[in-house]
Chain A
Amino acid sequence: MSDIEKKAAVDYSQFPDAQGHFGPYGGRFVSETLMPALDELEKMYTRLKNDPEFQKEFDYDLAHYVGRPSPLYHAERWSRELGGAQIYLKREDLNHTGAHKVNNTIGQALLAKYSGKSRIIAETGAGQHGVASATVAARLGLKCEVYMGAEDVQRQSLNVYRMKLLGATVHPVESGSRTLKDAMNEAMRDWVTNVDDTFYIIGTVAGPHPYPQLVRDFQCVIGREAREQCLKQAGKLPDALVACVGGGSNAIGLFHPFLEDEGVKIYGVEAGGYGVETGKHAAPLNDGIPGVLHGNRTYLMEDEDGQIIETHSVSAGLDYPGVGPEHAWLKDIGRAEYVAINDDEAMAAFRTLTQVEGIMPALESSHALAYAEKLAKTMDKDQIIVVNLSGRGDKDILTVAAIDGIEV
């Protein structure tokens, strides 16, 4: 059997299994207090995901509140300048609140509503998930508290202020490396204390089962639309997909509806920071090993004693030592390839897209763009790359200005 036939033999819809595993990854590694809450969430989600009323409500909100479908934009000028494959951008940056994150918070807020819990909590890195959570909380009249690493509070001050304007309380987390992983620890501590009245909206496809599954399902609207749009606009499926991977929710949302399309190559782009070879990066699929953190087994950045090590990326949203378990599995079975893009390459792509297409991308998405640029040059002009432009760059302007030495 050839490799391609082996890939086609996998029925991706059967994962995760009943215990929440993607092959050896995923699962439910939390303290006993939370196990019954996760059981309850799983039961509720299993019931609702096949409930036409729930789906109708979700679809309605995506259309009328988020503004879906988001366009699939052919970046003609940029493609021409690169002289290779045609690059199409899936414009998640045009969603309400400016990123793909809102697809998931709309879905989880509906779950919160159905569960009758009065309070939501969230962790956030770049602040996009925090803003998206605060947004849906405002709309539903729910109390919202967001945990954010103190380091991220500083580098994403605009989003912190947005959350406050939306009525959320932002808790800066001072422990550990003061970034996303520590925010997630603190959110878990809150949840275990207030499990009776609190719904925890996890922002990425990580965490204990059923989160990686339900976040994926909510984000799959990206890939379903992109598939349909590409067929309609270009008359064929893309040759390659490219998306950035921190926890990996925008990536899995784009990738998943294409997994069974064998001809579509899939590239996840991790944050190479100062370079994978320097060790100062956030690329566990490139340079990590499997372990257990934040409720799931996955690839992690850790030392030889199993301690999680500090990561580095210019983009707060990718600065995380783990990755969603489904990505870990897709890497192992060879269905997706995971590469890394360094800080400076991402910064260059940020400037290029801004200047050539008039679109200012988030620094997270700039990692995907930088890899697409490299990839396009190796492909023919009649080939197509779909890049997930997962968020807009307004939130990053202060970071970019600081790198340029400019005070805004």
Chain B
Amino acid sequence: MNRITARLAEAKQQGRKALVTYIVCGDPIPEATLTTMHAMVEAGVDIIELGVPFSDPMAEGPVIALGHERALANKTSLKSTMAVVKAFRETNNGTPVVLMGYANPVERMGYEAFAVQASDAGVDGLLTVDLPPEEAAPLNVELKKAGIENIFLLAPTTSNERAESIAKLASGFLYYVSLKGVTGAGHLDVASVEAKLSDLRKITDLPICVGFGIKDASTAKAIGQYADGAVVGSLLVDRMGAMADQSPEAIAGAVVELIAPIRQGLDELAS
């Protein structure tokens, strides 16, 4: 079983909510990524979303867009990101890693080459922000062959009918974008998330993780009442961005400090 499916099934069985964290590979210094990934696992993170930097990150708010710029300035590439995952797998074989990024670096590498190399590195899933299901079929074929889950986004604007067709193509989990906006936006509306998720549950049995706009224990907890997992990104990237002159251990420590109350908040929901 793919690590993503296994981990989310395990969390469900244990009656707890999954914590998904996003950092940008190579940000703010290349040496920080691996150390931070291991520290996040220690802090109770279930799934790591590793951002692959792109020159034109259209869906990102200012915080994560700056993270992409810093990572690119550090010469981070899709290849070097996969190398970090490979290094992570040397000592961790259980925590799922999802690469999250944009279509063009994957296009440039080639779908087949990407799928083969990502699988070899120990990548479990891919979330391509600008590759909706309509354009994803050729990549899906290669991902399937390589055993990599294709994680699709659902949005507040997605109709039930459309959600149904996306759910059929998706695997691993569905990523529900909690608001109309970019990452890190501040206008999360919990009631609308509740309503939408209740519709989605009628459509799919896939686990649903919710992201965009979750920035502390209370928003995570509010979302966690309805979702299988909460995704936290901008909060971490913001703090990391201010620590470019510090050691990987200090950066990882700061991330753990931010994560701990969120983990605790989610665990208070445990049934």
The interface size of chain B toward A, counting residues with CB under 8 Å, comes to 43
A31-B59, A292-B107 known; A175-B65 Cβ under 8 A: yes
Chain A residue at smallest Cβ distance from B132:
A35
Q: How far is the CA of A175 from the CA of B56 in the complex (A)?
A: 9
Instruction: Please judge, given known A-B contacts A32-B152, A193-B180, A195-B180, whether A306 and B56 are in contact too, CB under 8 Å.
Output: no
Contact A306:B104 (CB < 8 A) given known A35-B132, A193-B182, A195-B180: yes
B17-25, B83-91, B153-161, B247-255: which lies at the interface: B153-161
Interchain nearest-CB distance for B59 vs A (Å): 5
Quick check: B108 and A33 within 8 Å, CB to CB? no
Are A31 and B56 CB-contacts (below 8 A) given A192-B181, A306-B78, A307-B72? no
Q: Mark B56-87, 1 if CB is under 8 A from A, else 0.
A: 11111100010001001000011100000000
Whether B130 contacts A195 by the Cβ 8 Å rule is: no
**Contact in complex: A192, B107 (CB < 8 Å):** no
Inter-chain contacts of B60 with A (CB < 8 A):
189
B77 contacts A196, C-beta separation under 8 Å: no
Whether B134 sits at the interface, judged by CB under 8 Å, is yes
Q: How far in angstroms is the closest Cβ of chain A from B51?
A: 14
Are B56 and A33 within 8 A (Cβ)? Answer: no
Bound together, the chains give a CA A297 to CA B106 distance in angstroms of 13
User: Per-residue CB proximity of B145-187 to A under 8 Å, as 1/0?
Assistant: 0000000111111110010001000000000010011100100
Given A33-B177, A188-B58, A306-B105, A28 and B134 touching (CB < 8 A)? yes
Flag if A28 contacts B135 (CB, 8 Å).
yes
Does chain B have a CB within 8 A of A203?
A: no
Inter-subunit contact A291/B107 (CB<8 Å):
yes
Asked if A33 and B156 make an inter-chain contact with CB atoms under 8 angstroms apart, the answer reads yes
Partner of A31, one of B72, B108, B129, B159: B129
- Does B55 count as interface, using CB distance less than 8 angstroms? yes
Q: Is B260 an interface residue, CB under 8 A from the partner? A: no
Q: Is A306 a contact partner of B157 (Cβ separation < 8 A)?
A: no
Q: Hey, what's the 0/1 contact readout for A86-102 against B, CB within 8 Å counting as 1?
A: 00000000000000000
Q: 0/1 per residue, A293-314, Cβ < 8 Å to B?
A: 1110100101011111100000
Inside 8 A of A294's CB, which chain B residues have their CB?
56, 58
What residues on B are CB-neighbors of A307 within 8 Å?
54-55, 72, 77, 104-105
A195 contacts B104, CB within 8 Å?
A: no
Q: Which of B69, B72, B78, B107 has the most CB of A within 10 A?
A: B107
Which chain A residue has the least Cβ–Cβ distance from B129? A31
Interface-central residue, B79, B130, B181, by most chain A CB under 10 Å: B130
Provide the A194-212 mask, 1 if CB < 8 A to any CB of B, else 0.
1110000000000000000
Contact across chains for A189 and B182 when beta carbons are under 8 A apart: yes
Name the residue of chain B whose CB is nearest to the CB of A29: B130
Q: Specify which chain B residues have a CB less than 8 angstroms from the CB of A169 in the assembled complex.
A: none
Known: A195-B180, A307-B105. A31 touches B54 (CB 8 A): no
Task: Write the chain B residue with the least CB distance to A21.
Answer: B135
- Return the chain A residue nearest B154 by Cβ: A32
- The docked-state distance in angstroms from the alpha carbon of A306 to that of B81 is 14
Contact of B108 among A29, A30, A36, A291 (CB under 8 A): A291
Task: Closest B residue to A295 by CB, please name it.
Answer: B130
Instruction: Name the distance in Å between B253's Cβ and chain A's nearest Cβ.
Output: 29
A324 contacts the other chain (CB 8 A): no
Are the CB atoms of B153 and A32 closer together than 8 Å?
yes
* Complex Cα–Cα for A28 and B134 (A): 8
Known contacts A33-B180, A192-B181; is A305 also within 8 Å of B153 by CB?
Answer: no
Query: Chain B residues with Cβ under 8 A from A195's Cβ?
Result: 157, 180
Q: How far does the alpha carbon of A213 sit from the alpha carbon of B200 in the complex, in Å?
A: 34
Measured CB to CB, the nearest residue on chain A to B187 is A193
Please measure, in the bound complex, the distance between the C-alpha atom of A109 and the C-alpha atom of B57, giving whole angstroms.
28
Chain A residues with CB under 8 Å of B166's CB are 32
Neighbouring B residues of A189 by C-beta, 8 Å: 58-61, 182
Most chain B beta-carbon neighbours within 10 Å: one of A28, A291, A306: A306
Determine whether the beta carbon of B132 is less than 8 Å from that of A306: no
- Chain B residue with Cβ nearest A39: B162
Set of chain A residues within 8 Å of B129, measured between Cβ atoms: 31
Q: Give the residues in chain B near A176, CB-CB below 8 Å.
A: 55-56, 69
- C-alpha gap A33/B158 in the complex (Å): 7
Nearest opposing residue in chain A for B157, CB measure: A36
B109 at interface by CB-CB < 8 Å: yes
Q: In the bound complex, how far is the Cα of B68 from the Cα of A182, in angstroms?
A: 14
Q: At the interface, yes or no: A399 with Cβ under 8 Å from chain B?
A: no
- Smallest Cβ distance from B88 to chain A, in angstroms? 20
Give complex CA distance A309, B78 in Å. Answer: 16
B141 touches A (CB below 8 Å): no
CA distance A308 to B102 in the complex (A): 12
Contact A35 B158 (CB under 8 A): yes
- Knowing that A33-B155, A195-B180, A306-B104 are A-B contacts, what are 17 other residue pairs whose CB atoms are under 8 Å apart, sorted by A's residue number? A33-B153, A35-B134, A36-B158, A36-B162, A176-B56, A194-B180, A195-B157, A291-B108, A292-B102, A292-B103, A294-B56, A297-B107, A305-B108, A306-B78, A306-B105, A306-B109, A307-B55
Interchain Cβ contacts under 8 Å between A and B, 5 examples: A31-B177, A33-B181, A36-B162, A293-B56, A307-B105
**A-B pairs with lowest CB-CB distance, top 7:** A306-B108, A306-B105, A33-B155, A32-B153, A305-B77, A292-B103, A193-B181
